[in-house]
Amino acid sequence: MKARVSDDALALACGADAVAAALAAAGVAVDRVSSWGMHWLEPLVEIDGNGWGPVTPADVPALVAGLLAEKAIGRIEDNPFITRQARLTFARAGRTRPLSLDDYAATGGWNGLAAARALEASATTETVVQSGLRGRGGAGFPAGIKWQTVAAAPGARKYIVCNADEGDSGTFADRMVMEGDPYLLIEGMAIAGLAVGASKGFVYIRSEYPHAIAKLQAAVALSADIVAPFDIEVRVGAGAYVCGEETSLLNSLEGKRGEVRAKPPLPAHKGLFGQPTVINNVLTLAAVPFILAHGAKAYADFGMGRSRGTIPVQLAGNIRHGGLFETAFGITLGELVNDIGGGSESGRQVRAVQVGGPLGAYFPPALFDTPFDYEAFAAADGLIGHGGIVVFDDSVDMARQARFAMAFCAIESCGKCTPCRLGSTRGVETLDRINAGDNRAANLALVEALCDTMKFGSLCALGGFTPYPVLSAIRHFGEDFQSPARERAA
């Protein structure tokens, strides 16, 4: 008998190591694999394609004796959570041993790089343009256009920088790629290097991801000969949300304070150490090997409108079936939250979801027919961001959430521009007055005016987008701002 247990950080946090040890003690050989992304079932044990979860060490004797029917989920590949997905980026999730070069090559690994090596660099960038791939870090900028700009920019040296800061609340897809399929990211970076003429890449990764750092460092060393002469260095950030902003990240990489730079110049023209630089999110780069291996059309055939391909949606917060769900763009928010996510974990009514991290809008169920698509979300004054969805049930106090959004901006502001640095602090004070019932109508008008100044006067999206959660809370959940917090709690 052979069992498979994930060594993804979430599985570990749920006790996967203890379960693996109990299986080994019972004489079962254990392979440590990547996670299927069904987080509510971790630690998930797979034997001959069938799954049991969540398994505890105490369950192991019954499992080995074939008596753990109450935790059996049948064939994992046939689980609706898996069959309803379109897994292009996460095709290997749950199926391979993360650091095994054999597993990677046996599942189509390095085919994209081989295709790029056989093409002119301009044909590679054109393939990425035609695929319609847009940046998955938040802004949704077309990846191929960015690559073409860097390829055409004069510079003594060019760089590929992978943004693995993944600071958005409720997101973990970058981490899952780096822990579960690290060669995929390395392959994507090497293809980008070939396309723009860069032989050096950096991965900027948050210090809060120790398992991903270790996996990626090991994978970089093990695959160095395969991607040579492209060379990758893993750099660990000190922990600041704003260091995910691309120019702030570049400053941090250069050893400077993580403060946002004014644009222009764009990083594509003058980026790391003043040289033309591609900065892409982990998911953007991890989508590239599929595109090169299977062609632009195979990717662009998924999606809707200008949102082509698939998006790894991350279901988090108060949700029954949290996890990683990769799907073509176009699925509605309601399908994701209710059909796939199974509604709230608490069993209470879902009242709000925040999509796109701490700068994303709060949507009520009335907006659940919004398709997951960059333009559709923008039209509803929201954003997809990095694809994270955080669910709240009807016990949430949206006036407190609005204050939280302002306070987050005040804490994380890099301090470079006034609307964000001072505006967010004044915003917290004003929201506190509203919550205390002090001159509510006038203070609400003041918050709206302040948000207008932040939106149009901030240098980067931290100050510029904080108004989205604040104003959406006021707009969709106005009743929470009409009585003091203590009355609402009563």
Ligand X SMILES: Cc1cc2nc3c(=O)[nH]c(=O)nc-3n(C[C@H](O)[C@H](O)[C@H](O)COP(=O)(O)O)c2cc1C
Angle at alpha carbon of residue 345, lines to 484 and 489, rounded to 5°: 15
Residue 261, both tokens: 């730079």
Does residue 408 bind ligand X (CB under 6 A)? no
Q: How many chain residues are in contact with ligand X, going by CB under 6 A?
A: 22
Part of the chain binding ligand SF4 (CB under 6 A), chosen from 46-54, 187-195, 332-340, 416-424: 416-424
Residues with Cβ within 8 Å of 242's Cβ and at least 6 positions away in sequence, in order, are 248, 258, 259, 260, 412, 413, 414, 460, 462
Does residue 414 bind ligand SF4 (CB under 6 A)? yes
Residue 271, both tokens: 């980026």
Task: Please identify which residue in the block is written with the tokens 């929470």.
Answer: 480
CB 42 within 8 A of CB 35: yes
**Alpha-helical segments (H) within 261-380:** 282-294, 296-300, 333-334, 374-379
Looking at residue 73, the DSSP 8-state letter turns out to be E
Largest alpha-carbon pair distance within the chain?
Answer: 70
Q: Is 105 left (phi over 0), alpha (psi -120 to 50) or beta?
A: alpha
Does residue 246 bind ligand X (CB under 6 A)? yes
Cβ 360 to ligand SF4 shortest distance, Å: 16
Instruction: Decide: residue 22, CB within 10 A, 0-12 exposed, 13-18 middle, 19+ buried.
Output: buried
Beta-ladder partners of 323: 38, 315
Cβ 297 to ligand SF4 shortest distance, Å: 38
Distances in Å between the Cα of 194 and the Cα atoms of 113, 201, 221, 435 are 9, 11, 19, 55
Q: Which of 26, 22, 24, 38 is nearest to 6 (CA)?
A: 38
Does residue 242 bind ligand X (CB under 6 A)? yes
Residue 483's CB: how many other CB atoms inside 10 A?
14
3-class state of residue 147 by DSSP: helix
Does residue 458 bind ligand SF4 (CB under 6 A)? yes
Task: Pick what 413 binds: ligand X, ligand SF4, none; C-beta below 5 to 8 Å, kind-dependent.
Answer: ligand SF4
**Residue from 420, 451, 471, 474 in contact with ligand SF4 (CB under 6 A):** 420
CB 320 within 8 A of CB 335: no
Closer residue to ligand X, CB minimum distance, 124 or 280: 280
Q: Which of 461, 467, 465, 474 is nearest to 352 (CA)?
A: 474
Task: Pick what 273 binds: ligand X, ligand SF4, none; C-beta below 5 to 8 Å, kind-dependent.
Answer: none
Residue 45, both tokens: 């044990």
Cβ 398 to ligand X shortest distance, Å: 22
Part of the chain binding ligand SF4 (CB under 6 A), chosen from 23-31, 115-123, 202-210, 412-420: 412-420
Residue 74, both tokens: 């049948």
Cβ 450 to ligand SF4 shortest distance, Å: 13
Does residue 435 bind ligand X (CB under 6 A)? no
Closer residue to ligand SF4, CB minimum distance, 7 or 412: 412
Part of the chain binding ligand X (CB under 6 A), chosen from 64-72, 130-138, 223-231, 478-486: 130-138
Beta-ladder partners of 253: none
Query: Which residues from 234-253 bind ligand SF4, rule CB under 6 A?
Result: 242
Does residue 461 bind ligand X (CB under 6 A)? yes
Task: Pick what 414 binds: ligand SF4, ligand X, none; C-beta below 5 to 8 Å, kind-dependent.
Answer: ligand SF4
User: What is the C-alpha R_g of the chain?
Assistant: 23
Query: Which residues from 248-277 bind ligand SF4, rule CB under 6 A?
Result: 260
| Cis amide leading into 358 (omega within 30) | no
Task: Pick what 463 binds: ligand X, ligand SF4, none; C-beta below 5 to 8 Å, kind-dependent.
Answer: ligand SF4
User: One symbol per residue from 363 to 392: x for binding ligand SF4 (CB under 6 A), - otherwise; what is it?
Assistant: ------------------------------
- Side by side, which strands form the sheet with 45-47? 29-33, 2-6, 45-47, 50-52, 72-75
Cβ 458 to ligand SF4 shortest distance, Å: 4
**Residue from 85, 96, 307, 413 in contact with ligand SF4 (CB under 6 A):** 413
**Residue from 417, 428, 470, 473 in contact with ligand SF4 (CB under 6 A):** 417
Closer residue to ligand SF4, CB minimum distance, 160 or 417: 417
**Residue from 54, 109, 112, 138 in contact with ligand X (CB under 6 A):** 138
Does residue 341 bind ligand SF4 (CB under 6 A)? no
Q: Is 45 left (phi over 0), alpha (psi -120 to 50) or beta?
A: beta
Does residue 406 bind ligand SF4 (CB under 6 A)? no
User: One symbol per residue from 261 to 300: x for binding ligand X (CB under 6 A), - otherwise; what is it?
Assistant: ------------------xxx--x----------------
**Residue from 44, 291, 337, 459 in contact with ligand SF4 (CB under 6 A):** 459
Binding site for ligand X (CB under 6 A): 135-139, 141, 163, 165-167, 241-242, 244-246, 279-281, 284, 460-462
Binding site for ligand SF4 (CB under 6 A): 242, 260, 413-417, 420-421, 458-460, 462-463
